[in-house]
């Protein structure tokens, strides 16, 4: 009996040492990734917030200016224009592009044959390089491009895709075509994970395709849709690459998004202090969006 009592603490100590060694080795394995994460993500963020309080001068040196950069951003006439264009870009992305991936994923999942080929075809636009994408769609949108040539053959009026009213919808349509494939594969993976017994029971009860989608598929992927919606809002709020490559913010600042204005401020006007202030403001807004999403997710899980 005494021998058993003496061996129990020894076994407990060995188990504690084993768990501690596992934690130590696990920490050592992830330490390089954590260091790289800090160096290439958080250090630039902290330095950007730091420089937002300075006038950045690579020749004469930096000078502390307090909140002057933030005041300059808030007083700039382009602030409201860029925010309006960014909100328009986000809204068009949701109205035009957000619903395409789940609809395509549901349509593909309902196919009886050629599901693999449909998945490959839906993903192909995502494999097009950006420089090829922009050049191709600038040709499509050209006044003598294939779209206007087709409209002309039908005796329909031509469209000026780069006019102030159509420039932003044209860019959103192009990006929807290019990026819906990746999100479609994510939705397909979520739909495949739904138990097949539910669909079989629905078919036994003579449920139609729309009823299966409405009462089984959509409720099952609702959380994923909310997550991808938040990610799309964050991504589109930082959009500037297509606007820079295709219109450079024009015509008449119709496609000047907030991040494109930031890019112009930093690399065209060389006002890095003001650009850092703009980036800091955007960083805090995106944090608020993430917090709001977490609150919504917790409430939905409770209900």
Nearest to 162 by CA among 173, 153, 152, 154: 173
DSSP classification of residue 145: S
Residue 60 Cα to chain centre, angstroms? 39
Structure tokens at 268: 């065209």
pLDDT digits (tens, 9 = 90+) for 91-122: 999 988 888 888 888 888 878 788 788 888 88
pTM, two decimals, is 0.82
Structure tokens at 199: 């669909």
What are the backbone angles phi and psi of residue 155, rounded to the nearest 5°? 60, 35
What distance in Å separates the CA atoms of residue 109 and residue 112, rounded to the nearest whole number?
8
Q: What percent of the chain has pLDDT over 70?
A: 94
DSSP classification of residue 1: -
Cα–Cα distances in Å, from 9 out to 4, 6, 13, 22, 103? Answer: 9, 6, 6, 20, 60
pLDDT digits (tens, 9 = 90+) for 2-34: 555 455 565 556 666 767 777 888 788 888 888
């Amino acid at each position: 009996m005494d021998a058993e009592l003496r061996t129990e603490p020894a076994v407990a100590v060995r188990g504690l040492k084993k768990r501690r060694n596992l934690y130590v080795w696990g920490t050592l394995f992830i330490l390089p990734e954590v260091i790289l994460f800090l160096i290439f993500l958080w250090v630039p963020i902290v330095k950007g917030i730091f420089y937002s309080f300075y006038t950045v001068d690579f020749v004469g040196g930096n000078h502390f200016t307090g909140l002057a950069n933030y005041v300059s951003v808030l007083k700039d006439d382009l602030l409201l224009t860029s925010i309006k264009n960014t909100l328009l870009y986000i809204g068009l992305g949701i109205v035009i592009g957000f619903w395409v991936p789940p609809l395509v994923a549901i349509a593909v999942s309902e196919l009886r044959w050629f599901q693999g080929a449909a998945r490959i075809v839906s993903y192909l636009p995502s494999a097009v390089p950006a420089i090829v994408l922009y050049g191709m769609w600038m040709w499509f949108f050209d006044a003598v491009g294939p779209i206007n040539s087709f409209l002309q053959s039908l005796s329909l009026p031509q469209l000026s895709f780069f006019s102030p009213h159509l420039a932003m919808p044209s860019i959103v349509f192009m990006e929807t075509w290019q990026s819906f494939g990746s999100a479609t594969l994510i939705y397909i993976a979520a739909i495949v994970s739904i138990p097949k017994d539910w669909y079989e029971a629905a078919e036994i009860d003579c449920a139609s395709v729309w009823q299966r989608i409405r009462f089984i598929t959509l409720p099952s992927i609702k959380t994923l849709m909310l997550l991808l919606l938040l990610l799309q809002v964050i991504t589109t709020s930082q959009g500037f690459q297509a606007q820079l490559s295709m219109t450079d913010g024009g015509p008449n600042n119709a496609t000047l998004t907030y991040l494109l204005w930031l890019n112009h401020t930093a690399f065209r006007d060389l006002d890095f202090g003001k650009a850092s202030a703009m980036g800091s403001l955007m960083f805090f807004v995106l944090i608020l969006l993430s917090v709001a999403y977490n609150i919504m997710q917790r409430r939905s899980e409770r209900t």
